[in-house]
Structure 1
């Protein structure tokens, strides 16, 4: 199985960014959802974006954001891609892609086989699908450390490239990849010592485990 692409999500400090780059992660995710403990303001990401430039691909994570908010944060971070983690429709994904001219990733929250099926609707709109665990009503939409039933993806063959998120850590990422065949893995809470606080050693361990 080829080595997966790796995304370290919810990076909000220079140390975490440097750790992701040192561990040769492919993507770094900046969280632009204000209620999240991982939220990074335009002022913070302007510095991080500059530091990351040319060293790692920068993905901005948004939840049902309007164009003004998307524009402000995308511009500050000089994003390479936009990840949509809300209830964005196919039409909205198409609109954002055309307006901002960046690749768009669409997160599909999964708790059942019917959720996985929803990914098909985004063919021709999104550039990549990211399957994540569905969180309880009223909770944050991601980064909760929840894992879904990976067997739901065992036979998944979508037309779009796709990745796996949801409770991934150094301890379970190899198993998750074996179970799903994911070509991209995404970690947030699984590489933290506390909510929003990235752990340099866990980032290194996650990248190593994903590639082993």
Structure 2
């Protein structure tokens, strides 16, 4: 059965929609350039609303320890999701904080999948995400998708999740085409950048459960 992570949540009503709709994970973004960025106080308030059966995922871009430490505490994080982070740094973060680590691999062409190989044994899950356009300031959350057929026949070095350009209209196709265990959505359930829509969240989760 495929489960879903709703990423970039910033408000109680949308967090509640994700939880009541059956999300397995909720994502809190700690990256100042993102419209989904959370302060530590905001993260603490949201984290307190998350029941124990739902994983709290902190999303970071090559983070320093002076960001990770307070974010883990404020967000009561269960998982660290790392973007644009070198394997050596991933290993150091995992060893220091002793939390499960998901590492994003940005995909546009089949050769991009080679970046997953050095992550074997280093990460608990690989997040295959769409590579953002040249010059983009954000590593994800831009509604870009990649050709899911690129994953066909790939020997995955770790459990994995699928992200990039998903929404209620295409997530069933993505699940059937890839066999993803977890699908991850952000912009696909928004009415504007950083503004989640409770109805879109519910529709996405309904489509996942029906797939």
Indicate the TM-score class for this superposition, using the shorter chain for normalisation.
over 0.9
Matched, 1:41 2:35: no
Distance 1:203 1:55 in 2: 18
Distance 1:124 1:159 in 2: 8
Q: How does 1:58-137 map to 2 (within 5 A)?
A: 58-86=56-84, 88-137=85-134
Distance 2:202 2:132 in 1: 27
Residue 156 of structure 1 and its aligned partner are, at CA, apart by 2.0
Match of 2:27, SS state, is strand
| Superposed structure 1 runs of 4+ greater than 3 Å apart | none
Contact 1:154 1:181 (8 Å CA) reproduced = no
Distance 1:8 1:89 in 2: 25
Distance 2:150 2:186 in 1: 21
Match of 1:170, SS state, is coil
Residue 178 of structure 1 and its aligned partner are, at CA, apart by 1.5
Contact 1:191 1:199 (8 Å CA) reproduced = yes
Contact 2:24 2:53 (8 Å CA) reproduced = no
User: Alignment RMSD, CA only?
Assistant: 1.0
Residue 48 of structure 1 and its aligned partner are, at CA, apart by 0.6
| TM-score, normalization by structure 2 | 0.96
Distance 2:196 2:87 in 1: 33
Which whole-Å deviations, capped at 9, do the CAs of 1:78-105 have from their partners, x for residues lacking one? 100000012x111111100011110000
Residue 135 of structure 1 and its aligned partner are, at CA, apart by 0.5
Unaligned runs of 5+ in 2: none
Matching residue within 165, 168, 173 for 2:166: 168
Distance 1:137 1:80 in 2: 32
Contact 2:57 2:81 (8 Å CA) reproduced = yes
Unaligned runs of 5+ in 1: none
Distance 2:29 2:154 in 1: 28
Matching residue within 184, 187, 190 for 1:189: 187
Distance 2:43 2:180 in 1: 29
Which whole-Å deviations, capped at 9, do the CAs of 1:21-61 have from their partners, x for residues lacking one? 00010000001111111111101001111111425210000
| TM-score, normalization by structure 1 | 0.96
Match of 1:35, SS state, is coil
Distance 1:131 1:159 in 2: 12
Distance 2:4 2:39 in 1: 23
Aligned length: 209
Contact 1:107 1:131 (8 Å CA) reproduced = yes
